[in-house]
């Protein structure tokens, strides 16, 4: 069924607690944890508890959860005090754009100057 946990998915395992992560926030629909290879002083991933491979498929099936993820990003930015200098939220989509984990996740990056375009 759409959204069901996938046995071979790393982020489903983090949701289930069978792979450890440094969780910073959790809601009924989302988990947020620190990226294992941070690209900025704050680098948190916000994921849906449901398994969808990317942001667009999540949005098509569960649009309210996309809103939950974005709301959580704002709360994390406030908690980490990165909102006053600006921060970035990114859904890499597809291998060509750098997506390596095919369970939708929002990167929340801040705490340093961020260039645009990112390259």
Enumerate binding residues for ligand 5GP (CB under 6 A): 10, 21, 33-37, 45, 92, 98-101
Is 105 in the active site? yes
Kindly name the residue from 51, 103, 105, 107 that is annotated as catalytic. Answer: 105
The shares of helix, strand and coil residues in the chain, as percent rounded to the nearest 5, are: 30, 25, 50
**Smallest distance from Zn ion to CB 109, Å:** 22
Number of Cβ within a 10 Å radius of residue 14: 20
Cα-Cα-Cα-Cα torsion 91, 34, 37, 93, nearest 10 degrees, comes to -10
Answer yes or no: are the C-beta atoms of 43 and 114 closer than 8 Å. Answer: no
46 binds, among Zn ion, ligand 5GP, none (CB under 5 to 8 A by kind): none
Give which of ligand 5GP, Zn ion, none residue 88 binds (C-beta under 5 to 8 Å, depending on kind). Answer: none
Tell me the catalytic residues: 105
Residues that bind Zn ion (CB under 5 A): 6, 9, 11-12, 51, 103
């Amino acid at each position: 069924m759409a959204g069901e946990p996938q046995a071979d998915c790393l982020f489903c395992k983090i949701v289930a607690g069978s792979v450890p992560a440094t969780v910073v926030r959790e809601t009924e629909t989302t988990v947020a944890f620190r990226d294992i290879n941070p690209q900025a002083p704050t680098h948190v991933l916000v994921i849906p508890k449901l398994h969808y491979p990317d942001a667009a498929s999540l949005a098509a099936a569960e649009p309210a959860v996309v809103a939950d993820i974005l709301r959580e990003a704002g709360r994390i930015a406030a908690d980490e005090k990165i909102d006053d200098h600006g921060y970035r939220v990114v859904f890499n989509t597809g291998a060509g754009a750098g997506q390596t984990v095919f369970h939708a996740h929002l990167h929340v990056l801040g705490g340093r100057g961020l260039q645009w375009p990112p390259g």
